[in-house]
Chain A
Amino acid sequence: MKFENTTLDNGLQIIAEVNDEAFSQSIGYFVKTGSRDEVPEMGGVSHFLEHMVFKGTDKRSAEDVNRELDELGAQSNAYTCEDQTVYYMSILPDQQTRAVDLLTDLMRPALRTSDFETEKNVILEEIAMYDDAPPYGSMERCMESFYGDHPLSIRVLGTPQTVSDLDSEAMREYHRDRYAPNNLCLVATGAVDFDALVKQAEILTESWEPSRFKRVSTMPKHGSAELQFQHAPAVQQYTFELSQGVSRNDPRRHSYRLLATVLGDDSGSRAFWALVDPGLAESAGMFAHEYDECGILGLYLTCTPEDTQSNWDALVSIVREETSKKITERELTVAKNKICSSLVLSSERPGNRLFTVGNAMTMRGVYETVDQSIANYRRVTLEAVHDAWADYVNQGGARVTIGPELDVLK
């Protein structure tokens, strides 16, 4: 396993975790723009642009793109989240040159106006699909309430209104700004020929101009409203609560994740034994998630509307009031073992390593081997987890519940 890292003159960073023993290779462009980098009126533009990237370039039609992706035998896809937009594929090593050529070309899409309207329909269908599926937008509503006018409140998909209102010229401008080489990172993992990768990328991106775009990070003011919404066709009640966690650059983030694992992961946690194992709730737990300047500790509960109040009270009691029931060394060790084993198991595929390695570099500017990531969790002390817990219980939170009826939760 060897780590490689270089930056071209135009600002494009290229990194690779090279494993000559691997059977496959994964490559991806990590674009440092997502819904948090949008203005509210253009909510959803990053995600819409991600779709449009597959609609062809000056050299390739949409059919060409789809055909070539399949000719490579590639497992390819893309996703957009609050922080970034990622395009990736897993291929056999002998396809590296073709794959890099295609993926790099895609970063300069034609953005034809004619494709724009057809794809708009696909995105409106995607929004409708999520409207029909649990948890019926309750997480998005909770993010809106928690982050207020901070851009982390903007929905990744946008709303039917913002998506319908988007025009192709505004998207072109957004693309020029955000898909500049100094805002991209080309990441490769597995059986990679790194020298060839750099040489090829250098030639293909020669004419790309850097931009001055830089993410604006401001601390949010956190909301603490308790909101209820009705979704008449639903059978179950879905509840989220968001409180402050720590940012991804905060050294306490491993303690926070371990705290969430002990109190509320989906197997063997305190919330699991109290609510899920006895069949009181379909799911109940706690999660941690980090952004650049802030983070989340969240609670979730899914159960019947009738049981929501009593289950919620029980969950809150476990995570906020029972701090006297000290976490034991055994609980902490089990939590560490779960996280570390999952790191080892998932690292066997270059396709999984791509995201771990790429995210660490684009979001935190570091490279960590699997063993280093494991060590970061192993060294967390019981005291640090109790400190995280003490911080957490002093926070308020924003809560949203959605289900067939109103007034199920006080």
Chain B
Amino acid sequence: MAETESITAPDISHIHRLSNGMTLVAEPMPWLRSAAFTLLVPAGTRSEPEGLQGLCGMTLDLAQRGAGKRNSRQIVEDLDYMGIERSSSCSTFHTSFSVACVAESLNETLSIYADIVLRPHMPKDEVDESRQTALQELLSIEDDPSQKVFTQLKNLRYGAQFGRSPYGSTEGLESVALQNMVDYHVGRYIPDGAILAVAGKFEWGELKGMVEKLFGDWQSTETNPSGSVPIQTGVQHLQHESSQTHIALAYDCVPYQHPDFYQSRGLISVLSDGMSSRLFSEVREKRGLVYTVSASCQTIGDQGSVLTYAGTTGPRAQETLDVTIETIKSLGNGISEGELSRLKARVKSSLVMEQESSTSRSSQIATDWYYLKRVPNRKQVLAEIESLTCDSLLEHFQQYPPTGWGLVTMGPEPVVLAEDLVRVDSSSCDGASEGASNGANQLPATAKPPAAKGTTR
């Protein structure tokens, strides 16, 4: 199929507001055999009462241990029998369910998830199992420095309420009681602000009817609070006897819903997308300092952040951080025509390839609806990208220069962030302290390459 045709392939999103405040957003992809959905429930970690960190995740786990007419084992068996691929997670603002199936199983799968969200049994005799599962997950983060630095950075950057880890804390998990989970479910598993995004092979009229039937009687008087997310700056080092020093750096950018977001996203693309990107070429290709260096953007509420990661063996950590920051600043020297055309080519092929994955598309339209209250189609996104120029990118960088730096390092030796970047006293804490997460709303730069066994370049 020629590329111009693929760009204009039909991609009409259907939108249906239920009277209870939930929104169904759906995009038919009739050429696929699959269907996928993303269900966002406005139950995030920011709504956990202080001292009960991890409540959101434990509630999510317990809700899946029996719902509607099925017990815990029957839920897993019935989903496995249909070969459903699924995951669920907590972020700052949401509990989310991501599901993919062959198209014929969509209705049955939706009805199981409606039970989980609306009619969980919350069985008393499985509370300890939920708690033990959550504690295991918390320990797994402790053992992975590249995740741990980001959980800590989130905590540093967004503070006690908005910077919480979806994995909670040991003390929090140990304090959660059944009643806390029941209350959290009643108060936060609510239709106001809930989004169900479906993509793939389905018939719209049938889907709309099905969703009305499954979710139409979901009622709650609770509403979804809004509010601004505060940003804090600072530096932290976690002492750890690892081979590498793991460096997680953040600075401000405009959020996803900002009219200039594509300018900001374009700059990150120049910085980090592809093998000719500035970070890959300066930090890895020219100097051989790292195996991994990357930047991405994240929006939490109304705050946008650029997050960068680099890992390098101890003695070279300071140089790695310095070169990373110099490279970020080098965006202020201008963007070349070549960089601009490569970023456009990359976005164009990502947009076309997104049509091959119901999972990617359902997740994208859920994100779009949450932040924008609309779903831009491929033509509109392409027009936004085509309108970027070298001058517009440079102007954007000058208008929104990197500020609000936050740095977390983990490894044998601390590194120093130049004084003109951060005027906050460095603090340090030990490696066993509570984690946080970068789980929320990280936008993919491009679709991920398929998983392959062995080691990738």
Identify the A interface with B (CB < 8 A). Answer: 20-24, 34, 47, 50-51, 54, 62-63, 65-67, 69-82, 86, 90-94, 117-126, 128-129, 131-134, 156-157, 191, 232-236, 267-268, 273, 276-282, 302-304, 333-334, 337-342, 344-346, 348-352, 355
User: Do B243 and A128 have beta carbons less than 8 Å apart?
Assistant: yes
Residue of B with least CB distance to A128? B243
Contact with A along B221-254 (1 / 0, CB 8 A): 0000000000000000000111110100000000
Q: Are B83 and A71 in contact, CB atoms less than 8 angstroms apart?
A: no
Q: Which of these, B2, B243, B349, contacts A24 with CB under 8 Å?
A: B349
* Interchain nearest-CB distance for A257 vs B (Å): 14
Query: Are A69 and B455 in contact, with the CB atoms below 8 A?
Result: no
> Across the interface, do A125 and B291 meet the contact criterion of CB distance under 8 Å?
yes
- How far apart sit A65 and B275, CA to CA, in the bound complex (Å)? 9
Known: A71-B345, A273-B73, A334-B77. A134 touches B140 (CB 8 A): yes
> A79-B457, A232-B241, A233-B241 given as contacts; is B132 within 8 A of A62 (CB)?
no
Could you list 17 examples of A-B contacts with CB < 8 Å? Answer: A21-B1, A23-B355, A69-B274, A70-B345, A73-B347, A78-B456, A82-B454, A94-B2, A119-B288, A122-B288, A122-B291, A124-B313, A128-B313, A273-B73, A279-B132, A338-B83, A349-B356
Whether B449 pairs with A128 at a CB distance below 8 angstroms is no
* Residues of A with C-beta under 8 A to B2: 93-94
**Distance (whole angstroms) from the CB of B165 to the closest CB of chain A:** 15
Given contacts A129-B292, A282-B139, A342-B85, contact A22 B144 (CB under 8 A): no
B32, CB-defined interface residue at 8 Å: yes
Which of A82, A126, A303 counts the most chain B CB atoms within 10 A? A126
Partner of A69, one of B83, B276, B456: B276
Please indicate the chain A residues that have their CB under 8 angstroms from the CB of B145 in the complex. 132-133
List chain B residues, Cβ under 8 A from A67.
Answer: 276, 338, 342
A-B contact count (CB 8 A): 247
B450 and A191: CB pair below 8 A? no
A341 and B82 contacting across the interface, CB-CB below 8 Å: yes
Q: Report the bound CA distance from A71 to B275 in whole Å.
A: 10
A133 near B34 with CB under 8 A, answer: no
Q: Complex: how many Å from CA A303 to CA B288?
A: 36
State the CA gap A278–B131 with chains docked (Å). 9
**Bound Cα distance from A341 to B86, whole angstroms:** 12
Measured between beta carbons, the chain B residues less than 8 angstroms from A65 are 275
What chain A residues lie within 8 Å of B274 (beta carbons)?
66, 69-70
- In whole Å, how far is B207's beta carbon from the nearest beta carbon of chain A? 19
Closest B residue to A74 by beta carbon equals B349
Mark the stretch among B46-54, B187-195, B277-285, B298-306 that contacts chain A. B277-285
**Contact A279-B85, Cβ < 8 Å, known A22-B356, A54-B275, A70-B274:** no
Residues of A with C-beta under 8 A to B144? 133-134
Contacts of B449 in A (CB 8 A): 75, 77, 90, 351
Q: Which of B133-169 contact A (CB under 8 A)?
A: 133-137, 139-140, 142-146
Contact of B455 among A24, A54, A80, A282 (CB under 8 A): A80
Min C-beta distance of A243 to chain B, whole Å: 19
Name, among B242, B275, B286, B341, the residue most crowded by chain A CB atoms within 10 Å (CB to CB): B275
Inter-chain contact B357/A337, CB cutoff 8 Å: no
